[in-house]
Amino acid sequence: MNNDVSLVSPLAPARFPSLPAIAGLEAAIGRAGFYKHERPDLLLMRAPPETQAAGVFTTNAVGSAPTDWCKRALAESKGRARGLLVNAGCANAFTGADGDAACKRSLEAAATRLGLTPDEMMAASTGVIGVVLDDSKIARALPAMETGPVDWLTAAQAIGTTDTFPKGAGAACEIGGTKINIAGIAKGSGMIAPDMATMLAFVFTDAALSAAALDTMLREECETSFNSITVDGDRSTNDCVLLFATGASKMPSIADAKDDRLSGFRASLSQVLADLAIQIVRDGEGATKLVTVSVSGAASHASAKKIARTICESPLVKTAIAGEDANWGRIVAAVGRADEPIVRKQLSVRFGDLWAAKNGAVAPDYNEAAMSAYMKRPELEIAVIVGPGEGRARMFTCDLTKRYIEINGDYRS
């Protein structure tokens, strides 16, 4: 976490939200010393005995020791996980067998501290890659880490890296008449200096849900939240979203994600994940604009998403937005190079309520002055119609500014 107020993203929310309590959930923060400056860099959490968990992990083929651990542990335990150890400052990625061993030792120590077994532990690391985790630093920090009721703000701060503000989101809903809480924290701000680690999110609920139901819902909801954001297109080795359901609400457990009683919960979970995901974009490295790109009329959802992603990751589109230039031609060009079926004569582009292009040419009522005024807003909505199809998708991104180059290019200077 960067604590220099002058460096806080101009898109940051006014304050950290008030998150609902998840009964029985405990946390402690600590300092292992992965950073030279004074800051917490460890988060330890313990959930009640009945907790079920699910995770979605990076598809980066290089991966990392902690994501490898979580995937294996969740598969072997069939979603029983009660402990979580997160460190910032070292990603423990691309570290081979030494990295795996260090991850395992750190989880053994954390499990002992929590009165759990290592196979009940989840791990997440974020920071420099290619450096083996120095688990002795974690072992030395653990004795001072006394878990208690969760302070979400300090937990969110402990897992941040180049983040300029802590990220949290929560919701309350009902399942079959029982009041249910959801609370989550995340970190992410592009890929971080000097490297990756990118995005982590941990979401907790007191609902009683099977690991299978959690897994299905998490995967589906990630599609429109964490899998619909892009700051720079650089998917990291350590990305990880974990969802824990403690069952503390005492509702009768639900095993099937398709259960009708879950409709309200699904909506709330969706909202929490989207909220966290968009907060990550708001903290995109160097970001001054939050941009929502909606593509409709595509051949399929996947096709719409690929087009949206091509727009969102175009350096030319992103620099034009940084320059407050309604350069719709660059959007059209990005659509054209997405290698997806489009109908050129129907291609239309709208900024907010203002049409820039309509049916394959500049809009007849194109108004440069109105467009320029719109582009000065901190939050922009770009809608693109690419044909007569039913496929639609929405992605979130930010602009590309000189500050991004500074953060990522001048790191060692």
> CA-based angle 220:225:229, to the nearest 5?
130
CA 231 – CA 227 distance, rounded (Å): 12
What secondary structure does DSSP assign to 30-62, as a single string?
A: E----SSSS---EEEEE--TT-EEEEEE---TT
Closest separation between CB of residue 189 and a second copy, Å? 12
122 pairs with which residues across the strands?
84
Closest separation between CB of residue 243 and a second copy, Å? 23
CA 178 – CA 103 distance, rounded (Å): 38
> CA-based angle 337:342:343, to the nearest 5?
130
CA 43 – CA 152 distance, rounded (Å): 11
Q: Which of 126, 198, 237, 310 is an active site residue?
A: 198
Shorter beta-carbon distance to a second copy: residue 153 or 362: 362
- Which residues, 6+ apart, have CB-to-CB distance to 30 below 8 Å? 40, 41, 42, 44, 141, 142, 144, 145, 158
What secondary structure does DSSP assign to 250-274, as a single string?
A: -PPPB--TT-GGGHHHHHHHHHHHH
**198 flagged as catalytic:** yes
Closest separation between CB of residue 188 and a second copy, Å? 14
Interface positions with a second copy (CB under 8 A): 59-63, 93-96, 98, 128-131, 191, 194-196, 232-237, 313-316, 319-320, 322-325, 327-330, 332-340, 342, 344-345, 347, 357, 360-362, 372, 400-402, 404-406, 408-413
What is the residue type of 282? R
Shorter beta-carbon distance to a second copy: residue 78 or 344: 344
Closest separation between CB of residue 41 and a second copy, Å? 19
The helix/strand/coil state of 8 is: coil
CA 299 – CA 9 distance, rounded (Å): 37
Active site residues: 198
